Each structure stands twice: as C-alpha cells, then as structure tokens.
Amino acid sequence: MSTQRRAGGEAKPAEAKSDAIDAAELAEYHGLARLIERMHRRFLDVVRAGLLRQGIDDIGPVQALMVMLIGDDEPSVRDLMERGYYLGSNASYSLKILVEAGYIDRGASQRDRRTARLRLTDKGRTLRDELFNLEQVQATALVRNEAEAADLKAAYRTLRRLATWSATPARASIEWLD
C-alpha cells in the first residue's frame, strides 16, 4: 500500500478507495480476458453449427475462419498466421486439411519460390460467401437500433485499442514490470 506524507512529516496510508478502484479495474481486466476467450469459443460453436447446416463436415470452424481470413487475397502462410494469430504447427495442419478438402490452393510465389501463397478455390469462395451471410444474420440480430449500433462501435474501438496495445508481447511485459 502506498503512503502519503502529512505536513508534520508522518506517513498516512493512501486512500483505500484508490486501492479498491485498482482492484476493481484489475478484476474487470481479468474478466474481460476471460470473456473474450469465452466469446471466441461460442463464435466457433456458431460457425460449427453453420457448417453442419450447410452439410459441411470435412473441415472445422477454425479452418472455416482461415477461409474467411484468406478472402480475395493471396496471402503467404506467414501473413495468414499473423492475421489469425495461429501457431505454426496449428496453421500448417489446418492448411493441409483445407488443401486436401479442396477449399484452397497452395502454390509457390512467383517472386519468391520459397514462399507459399494461398488462394481460395471456387469451393472456398462459396464457403466464404456462406460464412459472410452467416455473419450478416448475426449482426442484424445483434444490432436492432442506433443505440445498439453505437454500443457495438464503442466495444469494437475498445477491443481494437486492447489488441493494438497487446500486439507486442515485449511491450506488454515491460509495462507490466514497471
């Protein structure tokens, strides 16, 4: 607990209220981290259900999200890993499944033959369009009026700020140690 000096030189404890606020803010931060993780799991469940409704059982929700991340681009494997925050072995496994199922083509870059480029096949573009439609339905159900739209925008801005701040693990660790 921090202390403050009175005019006579004796120390007094800092206000308990500021410590309580700090504890409450810390609890909210921890709660937010767990909420984000729980929302991600539930989103994967929604994607899984959407895949099953479409009769798609050859890939899982993580692979479906990779299809969304590739989109109309032709990213390298490294670009895709950075966009989706995948680990190397997980990304390689998921890409192998997507190639074998016919959702993506994986070929060498024309500029640098050592770099693999990814592109959606017709089957992959169809899946991407279906997943985009699923997202549209969800967004329409979530945002029913202007107040809810404003709340969603504020939540998005806050989450983007947190994502930007935590994008560099070394930075977050240094600030944590201060």
The crossing angle, in degrees rounded to 10, of helices 16-53 and 122-142 is: 130
The pLDDT tens digits for 53-84 are 999 999 999 999 999 999 998 898 888 887 77
pLDDT on residue 110: 76
* Selection from 109, 124, 111, 126 nearest residue 74 by Cα: 109
pLDDT on residue 111: 77
Mean pLDDT computed over 111-120: 83
Mean pLDDT of the chain: 82
Mean pLDDT computed over 110-128: 88
Q: What are the Cα distances from residue 86, in Å, to 65, 78, 124, 144, 168?
A: 11, 9, 19, 33, 15
pLDDT on residue 170: 53
pLDDT on residue 168: 66
Does the pLDDT at position 99 exceed 80? yes
Does the pLDDT at position 2 exceed 50? no
| Per-residue pLDDT band at 102 (split at 50, 70, 90) | very high
- Check if the beta carbon of residue 108 is closer than 8 Å to that of residue 90: no
Distance CA 155, CA 161 (A): 10
- Check if the beta carbon of residue 109 is closer than 8 Å to that of residue 101: no
Structure pTM?
Answer: 0.73
